[in-house]
């Protein structure tokens, strides 16, 4: 559940400040969005843009699997070993194709941090 849903006393400013504290402490964060009827859950990074790398996005995984995948892929992309159209092999051996995202409007945390003009790559299972 979202932080404001869990604690209605929080404001958007509180959530935004917490997001930036987390990015400062860890370098980036993984934002998980629970599925709504008719839609798949998804997760994405916020903070890689600040390190001159694209944000990463994946859909259809549970929160732990998504965080593990995006954190490992984030470390790999910061090493300069991944880019658009590359294949990424996750720690569990699964392969994902990195595709350039054209529409980033669902990545609200990244938009809040960087505005609407940032690069993002989608990890698609092969």
How confident is the prediction along the chain (126 residues), in pLDDT tens digits per residue?
A: 566 567 777 788 888 899 999 999 999 999 999 988 888 999 999 999 999 999 999 999 999 999 999 999 999 999 998 889 999 999 999 999 999 999 999 999 999 999 999 999 999 999
Q: Please give the residue range of the domain that contains residue 20.
A: 3-125
Write down the pLDDT at residue 94. Answer: 95
- HSE toward the beta carbon, residue 115, CA cutoff 13 A: 1
Q: Please tell me the predicted confidence (pLDDT) of residue 53.
A: 97
How many structural domains is the chain composed of?
1
Structure letter (DSSP) for residue 50:
G
What pLDDT was estimated at residue 71? 97
Q: What is the CA 49 to chain-centroid distance, rounded?
A: 11
């Amino acid at each position: 559940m979202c932080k404001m849903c869990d604690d209605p006393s929080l404001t958007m400013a509180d959530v935004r400040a917490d997001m930036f504290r987390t990015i400062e402490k860890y370098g980036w964060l993984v934002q998980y969005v629970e599925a709504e009827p008719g839609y798949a859950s998804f997760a994405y990074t916020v903070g890689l843009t600040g390190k001159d790398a694209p944000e990463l996005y994946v859909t259809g995984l549970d929160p732990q699997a998504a965080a593990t995948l995006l954190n490992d892929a984030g470390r790999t992309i910061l090493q300069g070993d991944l880019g658009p159209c590359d294949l990424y092999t996750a720690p569990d051996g699964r392969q994902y194709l990195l595709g350039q995202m054209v529409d980033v409007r669902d990545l609200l945390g990244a938009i809040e941090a960087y505005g609407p003009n940032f690069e993002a790559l989608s990890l698609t299972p092969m």
